[in-house]
Amino acid sequence: MTEQSAVGFRSDRGPVLVAVMLATGLIAIDATILATAVPSIVADLGGFTQFPWLFSIYLLAQAVSVPVYSKLADTIGRKPIMLIGIGLFLVGSILCGFAWDMTSLIVFRALQGLGAGAVLPVSITITGDIYTVRERARVQGYIASVWAASSVIGPTLGGLFAEFASWRWIFFVNIPLCIIAAWMLLRAYHESVGREKHRIDIAGASVLSVALTLLILAVLEGGQAWAWLSWQSVGAFAVGGLLLVAFVLIERRAAEPVLPLWLFSRRLIVTTSLISLGVGAVLIGLTSYVPTFLEVTAGASPLMSGLAVAALTLGWPIAAAQSGRLYLRIGFQRTALIGLAITVLGSAALLVSSFTPSVVATAIACFIVGLGLGLVASPTLIAAQSSVAWTERGVVTGANMFLRSMGSAVGVAIFGAVANGVIVRSGLGEHSPVAIQAASTAVFVAVLVAAFVTIAGGIAMPRADVDDVEHRPAEEPAAETVAEA
């Protein structure tokens, strides 16, 4: 059997790959479809200064739930966790479609985030279970095609719904996708996991969730709802920091910690996780602010601004699909450093273009950033994921995705604080094109800084090639991948 047939759709693992691609499509479309409709949502529900919470609450819920889901996936199996995630995402999408104000929409987005916290990391973990690291150099091309298609479908649907129908349909469109993904997973994927008693780290998960919530709240609302040196800001930062310290102490004594501390003793996992943190920040900075920037300053329609964002999410999978050939030849670290250099170049181009707003120039800059991120995110995740056994792969994958989500959550909070601060100081109001342009330029500066800082993680990453990281011991649990007739 050739390598191509071994990893293709006609192989015994093909139906599982299709199920994973469908599940990934849920998150991929949701990542791009909402940003294009933000102006329409704000016009209907109000609350411009609150709209960053549509992203940050989703990302926060996703981030704090990823370690829990990942640990459960290592103990009770991948399939039940995936189905739970798809179910939560479905319910959250339906409720978002019926939201009556910005507050209710934000709350329902949190439920969506809890679902996404299971779907994305566990789907990536499944591909790590059934394919070797060399096979994934080809398989990631299939997964990348989902993001490529979604990068066009998501912004286009978002723009069309916002311009010609209702923004509520950007949530209702998830209903058939959730149903199909769950059905495919039930039909195609079967796993054999040892039934043992496990102790869920409820204390660790709870403390971590509260700590992160307080810290994100302090960053997002500081300087807006209250002053930076007010008792609210100081209290939120202080309590959040203390809870993080308590979390570390809890994890040291937990029988089965939700976020094992040994993760932070392995250089490859630490550096790739830090890179993922930066990737999340850069990604959310562009997808959150480019549409509003173009619609207000360049007079672009929601559809056109959505296509500009699509350039970012189109460049990513194109590069990711080719990154396998690159890291097989020159190694993971060098591939990541090349990607980071391209990301910095694209971020700088975006900053320059913000002084003379143009849909074309912005789209080109976003595409360059996407190319860079595609050469960074996939290779670093595969390197970390492939260095551990089955019983640790879920946790490692979850830690990487957790840091990316946290990068996005913290990023959107910081970028929101920067943008709102510029608007307030301008005295022109949140609907002024001049104020929006100045705020967007400030955000793009922050994105460029984040890209530069992330290079440090790439430099510190070990120079490991495929043979150095691949770890597939014989005692791994079997994953049955034959579809039912």
Q: Are 288 and 419 in contact (CB under 8 A)?
A: no
DSSP 94: H
Q: List 92's β-bridge partners, or say none.
A: none
Residue ranges in the chain modelled with pLDDT below 70: 1-12, 31-32, 35-36, 46-51, 137, 140-141, 144, 148, 151-152, 192-199, 219-225, 390-391, 409, 430, 464-485
- Measuring CA to CA, how many Å separate 327 from each of 3, 345, 465, 470? 18, 21, 7, 13
Q: Are 293 and 440 in contact (CB under 8 A)?
A: yes
Element (H, E) at 190: strand 190-191
DSSP 375-387: HHHHHHHHHHHTT
DSSP 228: T
User: Phi/psi of residue 197, each to 5°?
Assistant: -80, 135
Instruction: Please state, in angstroms and rounded to a whole number, the distance separating the CA atoms of residues 374 and 14.
Output: 24
Three-class SS state of 439: helix
CB-based contacts of 485, cutoff 8 Å, min separation 6: none
Q: Would you state the torsion angle of the CA atoms of residues 232, 236, 237, 240, taken in this order, to the nearest 10 degrees?
A: 170
Other C-beta atoms closer than 10 Å to the C-beta of 84 total 17
Q: Are 294 and 308 in contact (CB under 8 A)?
A: yes
**CATH numeric code, 3-201+255-480:** 1.20.1250.20
User: Phi/psi of residue 222, each to 5°?
Assistant: -60, 130
Three-class SS state of 443: helix
Q: Which pair of tokens denotes residue 10?
A: 């006609």
pLDDT score recorded for residue 148? 65
- Measuring CA to CA, how many Å separate 173 from each of 24, 93, 167? 15, 9, 11
User: Phi/psi of residue 146, each to 5°?
Assistant: -65, -45
Angle of CA points 122, 126, 132, to nearest 5°: 140
pLDDT score recorded for residue 387? 75
Instruction: Please state, in angstroms and rounded to a whole number, the distance separating the CA atoms of residues 277 and 377.
Output: 10
Q: Which of 158, 409, 411 is nearest to 292 (CA)?
A: 158
Q: What is the percent of the chain where pLDDT is above 90?
A: 16
> How much is the pTM?
0.74
Instruction: Please state, in angstroms and rounded to a whole number, the distance separating the CA atoms of residues 287 and 309.
Output: 6
